Each structure stands twice: as C-alpha cells, then as structure tokens.
Amino acid sequence: MRKILFVDDEQEVVDEFKKRTGPIPDVWDIEFATSGTKAMDLLSETTYDAVVSDMYMPEMDGAELLNQVMGNYPKTVRIIISDQSDEETVLRFAKSAQQFLLKTCDIESMVFTIERACKLRDLINNKKLNMMITGISDLPSLPTLYVAIMKEMNSPNASLKKMGDIISQDLAMSAKILQAVNSAQFGLRREITNPQHAVVYLGINTLKSFVLSSHIFSSFSEDEDYGGSSLDELWIHSLMTGRLARDIAGTMVSDKIILEEAFTTGLLHDIGKLVLSRIPRKYKQVEDFKKLNKCGRLDAEYAVLKTSHAELGAYLLGSWELADNVVETIAFHHNPSALLKDMIAILNQSSKIKVGKSELNKIELLTGLTILTSVHVANALMMQENLTSCTGPFTYIDMLYLKTLGLTEKLPEWAQFCIEFRQRIRA
C-alpha cells in the first residue's frame, strides 16, 4: 500500500480531498498536512511514497516544499496540484515537481498518475542496481567524438553549433550534459531534454568552464576492454535508433518537443551497455554466458545479473535526474508490454473507484506512450539486420503491445522507414 502525504493550507480543501479519497483505503494510506512546515515534520518521522502539494501556501509554498523534499528525500515522488494550468504556472514548478495535476481532475486519473510515477521510482530505487552502479560518475564516449569536442572546446573560435552537433551524436556526452544543465545549480524553470538546447542554454564560456574543469566527458583508453563488442557499432546503432524513433514519432504526433525527446531517448536507450563496460567483471560473465549458451545478450544479462542493460541505464539516468519519461522508456524499451501491463492494472484498480459521475478515460491516459512506442519499434527494427520487407516478419517487435494500443496497422509504414533509412546510409 502506498503512503501518500497531501499538503494544503486550506482546511476546507483538505476536508474535500478526504471525501474524494474516501473510497480508496485499499490503494493508499493518506495523511494530511496544512502547511509546508508541518509536512516536513511528518517527512522527518515517516517515509512517504509521494507528496502531493498545493502550489500557493503562506510561509512555504509548494515549490519550496518540493525542493526540500527533492534534496532531503529524493526517493519520494513529488506532485504539484493546483486549480491553474496555464503555461507560466506549470513552468514555475517544472523543476521541483515530477507531475502536475489539476485539483478538478477525477480521483481515478490522480491514482493512475501517482501510481505510475511511484512504479518508476520503485524501479530506479532498486538496491541491487545501486550496488552495481555505485561509484560510476562518468561514461566513456566514442574516441573520435571525444577528440572532436575537446578540440572545439579549446579552439579560440569555438562554435556552440559545432559543440552541440558533436555532443548530440554521442550517448555518454548527451547524458552528462543533460544531467549538468538540469541540475539544481542552473535553476531551470523547465526540464531540457535536447542536448543541443542544453549547449545553447549554457553558452560557450559556461560550457567550456564546466566541461574542462569538471572532466565530465571521458574516452575509452586503448587498453580498455569493451567485452568483445565494438563501441563504434553501439554508437551507430544508438544514433540510427534515435533518428528512426524521431521519424516514427512524427507519424503519431506533431509536437516538436516530443519528437526531440524521441530522438534523445533513442540515442540514450542502450546507455546501460556503457554502464556495464564500467563493471568489466560482470560484463565478461555476461559475454562468457552468451557464448557458452549461444543465446542473445539480453537473455545472458538476465541470467547472470538478474537484470539487464535497460534497467541499469534507467537507474543511472534516474539517479542523474533526467526526465521521467526518458528514464521510463529506457527501462522498458525491450519489453513495453511489461509497463503496459502495470498501467492497465493501475487503470483497472482505479476504475473500481467511482466518485460522483467521474470515469477514467483510458485512451487519454495511454497517449503518453508515444516515446516508448517509437523507441521500442525503432530499436527492434534496427536490431533486425535481415529486414527486407515492410510486411515482416518482425523478430524483436512486441506485437502484443502494439495490438493493445491499436498500432499494428502502422508497423509496415515504420518498417519501410527503416528500410529506406538503411538504403540512404549505404548510398
């Protein structure tokens, strides 16, 4: 059972929320606080899965409260709830809150949103993953790109565009620059998910100072072993997956921000493989198991590690405070049905809760899967080297997932994208 702390300074709002949440005692254990100070007192005594706070409160408003929660209790999900939904209001709280909810939303939608956020936190709070990743502060970049970015950084005529182009081609550099720009020290009003935008935001002087003094980029040394695999192959696959994911997403939405996130997430989807390169003993065990049993890398990872590069990558980027939708997609990019199953279970659970005439709009709640869909399909198609027909067969596609979302009709179009994409590269 989830333990939820609801914070609002108006007693009548608290009383109304108590009435609305009355039917869900089997889902949540809810406690209430009428100020940010009282909320922090409760947090010092009890562990909560999520804090749901009003925006505007005297003495300590929602942003300040959730900033303190983020700093002192990073594993706690942070939700802002308000009766205002204009862009300026949302942007003001974008950094401190992981989710934004309207006070007028139905209780089923609230349960779904908070449960989904908690499920992701459960994944990236895994103690076993923490033990494996502890001490990893950087990841290696493709040597040619590392040399290129260092040369540009040290150039008297350094160009932001050139630096942005270089960084956005490399999964390790992209992850680190997004971690840096979204960290508390820059106080952004909204999260940046595009590496090129991050470079422009930082500016040449800040970027050069930050990168050259902090050494946040690194390259594989000549004596490092990458488990028998080619770093060039990983880089090419990641870059192509990002570009194809962006094209696939474009057939479902026209929002430029979503298209940019599809590219970035596609680029970063296999970053867990770089994480494993920093744990050479584990990597060798995976490689040995794979060769001995003649199985795929993913099966070998689960057999040896009881987890995979997908969860490892998601855990690391989650700990680096990258956007939840990016982390969630990376975690489930091989098996989106697993996430969908969890979401449907939450939907079915919350659908049992009826308050007045409110009903849960399942279709609306499932539209947030565009990035996961585009990255999963792009990765699966790029993995299939013998793909020559837009009608399949599709070896790595999660067909149950696409069928559940009613997207199987689009698969031939997406496969054709991949075939044409490969033909352009070879030309």
Give the span between the Cα atoms of 12 and 141, in whole angstroms. 55
Q: Decide if pLDDT at 268 tops 60.
A: yes
Q: What 8-state DSSP symbol labels residue 33? A: E
Bigger pLDDT: 138 or 317? 317
Closest CA to 69 of 107, 32, 95: 95
Q: Decide if pLDDT at 66 tops 80.
A: yes
Q: Decide if pLDDT at 423 tops 90.
A: no
- β 2-7/50-54 pair status: parallel
In this prediction the pTM is 0.74
What's the pLDDT score for residue 228?
43
CATH number, domain with residue 48: 3.40.50.2300
Confirm whether 44 is domain-assigned: yes
Structure confidence at residue 310 as a pLDDT band (50, 70, 90):
very high
Pair 20, 80 in one domain: yes
Within 8 A by CB and 6+ apart from 422, the residues are none
Q: What's the mean per-residue pLDDT of the chain?
A: 80
**Which of 151, 186, 219 marks a domain boundary?**
219
Cis peptide, bond prior to residue 336, ω within 30 of zero = no
Q: Which of 94-98, 274-278, 339-343 has the highest mean pLDDT?
A: 274-278
Instruction: List the end-to-end C-alpha distance of the chain, in Å, as a whole number.
Output: 56
Bigger pLDDT: 225 or 322? 322
What's the pLDDT score for residue 17?
79
Confirm whether 353 is domain-assigned: no
Record the tokens describing residue 303, joined without a space: 């057999």
**Which of 74, 104, 134 marks a domain boundary?**
104
The DSSP string of 229-269 is --HHHHHHHHHHHHHHHHHHHTTT---HHHHHHHHHHHHHT
Each residue of 323-335: pLDDT tens digit? 788 889 999 999 9
Q: Which amino acid is at 138?
A: D
Q: Which of 51-55, 134-138, 286-290, 378-382 has the highest mean pLDDT?
A: 378-382
Confirm whether 267 is domain-assigned: no
Q: What 8-state DSSP symbol labels residue 142? A: P
What is the pLDDT averaged over residues 399-413? 91
The DSSP string of 47-97 is --SEEEEES--SSS-HHHHHHHHHHH-TTSEEEEEES---HHHHHHTTTT-
Pair 7, 100 in one domain: yes
Give the span between the Cα atoms of 301 and 282, in whole angstroms. 9
Give the span between the Cα atoms of 217 and 338, in whole angstroms. 34
What's the pLDDT score for residue 355?
37
Residue-number span of the structural domain to which 149 is assigned: 143-219
Q: Decide if pLDDT at 343 tops 90.
A: no
Q: Which of 136-145, 240-249, 364-373 has the highest mean pLDDT?
A: 240-249
What's the pLDDT score for residue 186?
52
**Which of 219, 240, 256 marks a domain boundary?**
219
Each residue of 131-170: pLDDT tens digit? 777 667 667 777 788 888 888 888 888 888 888 889 888 8
Question: What's the number of domains the chain is made of?
Answer: 2
- Cβ atoms of 382 and 418 within 8 Å: the answer is yes
The phi, psi pair for 81, rounded to 5°, reads -125, 135
Give the span between the Cα atoms of 225 and 220, in whole angstroms. 9
Which of 42-56, 116-130, 268-282 has the least mean pLDDT? 116-130
Pair 8, 83 in one domain: yes
Each residue of 168-219: pLDDT tens digit? 888 888 888 887 776 654 555 567 778 888 888 878 877 777 676 656 677 6
Give the span between the Cα atoms of 110 and 129, in whole angstroms. 29
Report the percentage of the chain scoring pLDDT > 70.
Answer: 81
Pair 82, 155 in one domain: no
Closest CA to 264 of 375, 180, 370: 375
Confirm whether 213 is domain-assigned: yes
Record the tokens describing residue 406, joined without a space: 């009613």
Q: Decide if pLDDT at 94 tops 90.
A: no
Bigger pLDDT: 350 or 316? 316
Report the percentage of the chain scoring pLDDT > 90.
Answer: 24
Structure confidence at residue 255 as a pLDDT band (50, 70, 90):
confident
Confirm whether 238 is domain-assigned: no
The phi, psi pair for 50, rounded to 5°, reads -150, 150
